[in-house]
A and B are shown apart, each in its own frame.
Chain A
Amino acid sequence: MEYSGDLRTLTKTVFRDGVLASEIVKLIRGYWDLLRSNGIEEVKIMNFCGTHEYTSTHYGIRSILPRGVTLIAGPGCPVCITPSFYVESAVKLALEGLTVYTYGDSYRLPAVKEIEGCKSLSDARMMGADVRVVYSFLDAAKDAAKHTNPSTFLAVGFETTCPAYASALASGLVPNNLTLIMAGRLTPPAARFAVERVGTVSGVIAPGHVSTITGAGVWRFLPEEYRIPTVVAGFEPIDVLIAVALILRQMVEGDTRLMIEYSRTVTMEGNTRAKRVLSQVFDIVDAAWRGIGFIENSGYALKENFREHDAFEQNGMKEPSWEEWSHDLLPGCICGQVILGAAKPTDCRLFMKGCTPGTPYGPCMVSAEGACSIWARMGGREAVAEVP
């Protein structure tokens, strides 16, 4: 094919090239044939990240993989796994008169319990509460500095989003009237939980952007402790196809290890500055994941010297403990299993019936990175047969 355009366009052209894709698929088919001749009937590969699920679905990658090689979703969607309790707390504070900031998708995230008739921050805003959607934590910090109203930020996110909270707090950029409902989570403990729970995961496509911060090294436990081939991959379709090929090749060669496909941004060590500021501001604690429950050492909590910015502490509220945590999905919703790759969105009876992107019932239908929302918007609901 002919290439033209600026560097960004050229890069995308390469990573979305149809000829290249079909060559990689040929390799994948070759590895798959070898595996099948060794008696392997199914290979389940977890694409951990919501953005990987997007790439797999959006580019129809499942439709060109051999039958038997399946991609399953993982817990890599921060909005999907934010416990209902945090949403309920944010709604409560909004109705009490606080200014509440959050991102566009957590704004619509439905809680399990209604607070004065409100199930989400978007409901609270309809009732007249001061809820503001922002694109970054710094925007909220700047906005809160302009008024004196007590404010809070529903701070969801993984290792990619949390350095923004940490560096703003560490550099003193957060005004006194702004607190955080700290819902930040770490991904490796959830990956461990997921592979233990699902049991049959043959390979993991590990998150690319998280690994730019944490370093790919955090995924070493997957090959070392669980014998699972693991490839840290980028988010273009060619990246995902290469990752699938590398995982199958490892299986063929019986050589299980951690590989970095996304070497254009990911190193083994990661971003040491971001890691330093994270450890300066946060303790790592056992934390709840929506629809799943508590996972050991999987949450960020504000350290003692940042407690004046802790929304729970400042408003006389308390996080539920391991013992107090209760199942936080609505009846019929199977998001907990979808997140763990144990069920497909289409296995849910509510999918595109009681739960749609317009009126989401469960958390995975809200965020652009939720598996249910991706399948609903991107046509993942049926595998498309080969188009003649």
Chain B
Amino acid sequence: MGKVSLAHGSGGVETSLLFRQLILNHLPDWMKTLNNGLGLDFPDDSAAIPVPGGYVVTTIDSYTVSPIFFPGGDLGKLAAAGTLNDILMLGGKPVAVLDAIVVEEGTDMADLYRVVNSMISVLREEGVRLMGGDIKVMPSRQLDGILITTSGIGFASKLIVDKNIKPGDKIIITGNIGDHGAAILAAQQKIQTDEFRSDVAPLTRLMIPLIESFSDSIHAARDPTRGGVAMALNDWARSSDTTIVIYESELPIREPVVNLCEMMGIDPLSLASEGTALLAVHPDQADQVISLLHELGYREAKAIGEAREKTSSLGLVVLKTVIGGARILEPPSGEIVPRIC
């Protein structure tokens, strides 16, 4: 069966395949379906259990990042924001979080305090309870620093589900692409500059007003974390059975991020964002949604493409390039390797 590689965890094609072969294929139907709710039969940001008046939305995620502290955030902020965002992207309002912290023996106590304080302060600002958790210590070198798992619970009166994307829907991005991934990459390469800053942040102030004003027009929402915009759009096209067309000239990517990616031979569309959302919106309301996003402070928000009827001559996601060419936007595959010349 071979060995587990880093590619299996990078959020691209290999991760999806492992998920299907390791887990999904071993579940009888009743284990993955939730009548009138959302289970593993339609993998999305979170799962949803129907209750009177709406849905209980729940999710779980493990967070590990190297370095633990990076420009714009740290592991604790990531662990809180990431899980809150998964709830929000399904149309839920986060209510509470559970955490599990695993620490390597010998870790600086000050670092552990700083990370956990950061997680707690995000939850406090968001008015989300921390209802329980666990702390474990692993012997030295059996873990690299700190690993945090958080599980979130929220409530949604209406679900926003990927498979509801319709041909004609505008694809909107709420901020710059790849800022988190670029900040981590730059920190790992010890690039000394203040040009890279993670966008990690909870998206509550974005999603709650959107849900309140446009609950019928927002057909899908996703925070493009691991695997980036490329993976998110491929997932969307597959689950909604549409072709998604994206215009390269419209993509908001900051210049330093473009340059870093060119230097390293990496596609910025496969870099993670941690405080940015992709939305699929009914075309009639797209402009209003973008105006609201601008008012809310998401000034980079813009339409980057649209969903179309699927045709056999087009791939799942097609990217119109700046020079007027077209190519398939592939889901990311493999681990990120730097180029040599």
User: CA A78 – CA B341 in complex, angstroms?
Assistant: 9
Q: B315, A387: Cβ atoms under 8 Å?
A: no
Assuming the A-B contacts A5-B255, A16-B322, A238-B323, are A104 and B337 also in contact, with contact meaning beta carbons closer than 8 angstroms in the complex?
Answer: yes
* Chain B residues near A (Cβ < 8 Å): 2-3, 5, 7-8, 12-14, 245, 249, 255, 259, 265, 267, 313-315, 318-330, 332-335, 337-341
The answer, yes or no, to whether A378 is at the interface (CB within 8 Å) is yes
* Chain A residues near B (Cβ < 8 Å): 5-6, 8-9, 16-18, 21-22, 25, 57-64, 78-79, 103-108, 126, 133, 135, 156-158, 160-161, 209, 237-238, 241, 356-360, 367-369, 376-382, 384-387
Hey, which chain B residues are within 8 Å of A367, CB to CB? 339-340
With both beta carbons as reference points, the residue of chain B lying nearest to A360 in the complex is identified as B334
User: CA A237 – CA B339 in complex, angstroms?
Assistant: 20
Hey, which chain B residues are within 8 Å of A5, CB to CB? 255
User: CA A360 – CA B5 in complex, angstroms?
Assistant: 12
Interface of B is mostly: loop
Interface centre among A135, A209, A360 (most CB of B within 10 A): A135
Assuming the A-B contacts A105-B340, A358-B333, are A18 and B322 also in contact, with contact meaning beta carbons closer than 8 angstroms in the complex?
Answer: yes
Hey, which chain A residues are within 8 Å of B338, CB to CB? 103-105, 133, 135
With both beta carbons as reference points, the residue of chain B lying nearest to A161 in the complex is identified as B341
Q: B340, A161: Cβ atoms under 8 Å?
A: yes
Hey, which chain A residues are within 8 Å of B313, CB to CB? 385
Q: B3, A368: Cβ atoms under 8 Å?
A: no
With both beta carbons as reference points, the residue of chain B lying nearest to A235 in the complex is identified as B262
With both beta carbons as reference points, the residue of chain B lying nearest to A126 in the complex is identified as B3
Q: B323, A18: Cβ atoms under 8 Å?
A: yes
User: CA A254 – CA B320 in complex, angstroms?
Assistant: 35
Q: A105, B339: Cβ atoms under 8 Å?
A: yes
User: CA A381 – CA B314 in complex, angstroms?
Assistant: 12
User: CA A328 – CA B64 in complex, angstroms?
Assistant: 40
Hey, which chain B residues are within 8 Å of A356, CB to CB? 13-14, 333-334
Hey, which chain A residues are within 8 Å of B327, CB to CB? 57-60, 63, 378-380, 384
Using A357-B334, A384-B327, A385-B326 as known contacts, list a sample of 15 further A-B pairs with CB atoms less than 8 Å apart, ordered by residue number in A: A18-B322, A60-B326, A61-B323, A63-B325, A63-B326, A79-B340, A135-B338, A157-B340, A359-B5, A377-B330, A379-B315, A381-B330, A382-B315, A384-B326, A387-B318
Q: A64, B323: Cβ atoms under 8 Å?
A: yes
User: CA A104 – CA B337 in complex, angstroms?
Assistant: 6
Minimum distance in angstroms from B315 CB to a CB of chain A:
7
Q: B267, A377: Cβ atoms under 8 Å?
A: yes
Assuming the A-B contacts A358-B5, A358-B14, A381-B328, are A59 and B323 also in contact, with contact meaning beta carbons closer than 8 angstroms in the complex?
Answer: yes
Hey, which chain A residues are within 8 Å of B340, CB to CB? 78-79, 103-106, 156-157, 161, 367
Listed from nearest, the 3 A-B pairs whose CB atoms lie closest are A60-B325, A379-B328, A357-B334
User: CA A10 – CA B7 in complex, angstroms?
Assistant: 36
Minimum distance in angstroms from B162 CB to a CB of chain A:
21
Minimum distance in angstroms from A155 CB to a CB of chain B:
11
Q: A384, B318: Cβ atoms under 8 Å?
A: yes
Hey, which chain A residues are within 8 Å of B333, CB to CB? 356-358, 376-377
Minimum distance in angstroms from A71 CB to a CB of chain B:
12
Cβ 8 A contact of A379, one of B5, B249, B319 = B319
User: CA A369 – CA B328 in complex, angstroms?
Assistant: 18
Interface centre among B14, B255, B334 (most CB of A within 10 A): B334
Interface centre among B265, B329, B338, B340 (most CB of A within 10 A): B340
Hey, which chain A residues are within 8 Å of B319, CB to CB? 60, 379
User: CA A382 – CA B340 in complex, angstroms?
Assistant: 27
Hey, which chain B residues are within 8 Å of A78, CB to CB? 340-341
Q: B5, A386: Cβ atoms under 8 Å?
A: no
Minimum distance in angstroms from A73 CB to a CB of chain B:
16
Minimum distance in angstroms from A166 CB to a CB of chain B:
15
What would be 22 A-B contacts, judged by CB atoms less than 8 Å apart?
A17-B323, A22-B323, A25-B324, A60-B323, A60-B325, A60-B327, A62-B325, A63-B325, A63-B327, A103-B338, A237-B323, A356-B14, A358-B334, A367-B339, A368-B337, A369-B341, A376-B333, A378-B327, A380-B327, A384-B318, A384-B328, A385-B326
Hey, which chain A residues are within 8 Å of B341, CB to CB? 78, 157-158, 160-161, 209, 369
Assuming the A-B contacts A5-B255, A160-B341, are A386 and B326 also in contact, with contact meaning beta carbons closer than 8 angstroms in the complex?
Answer: yes
Minimum distance in angstroms from B127 CB to a CB of chain A:
41
With both beta carbons as reference points, the residue of chain B lying nearest to A123 in the complex is identified as B3
Hey, which chain B residues are within 8 Å of A16, CB to CB? 322-323
Hey, which chain B residues are within 8 Å of A79, CB to CB? 340
Cβ 8 A contact of B7, one of A104, A359, A368 = A359
User: CA A61 – CA B338 in complex, angstroms?
Assistant: 24
Cβ 8 A contact of B265, one of A22, A209, A359, A368 = A368
Hey, which chain A residues are within 8 Å of B318, CB to CB? 384, 387
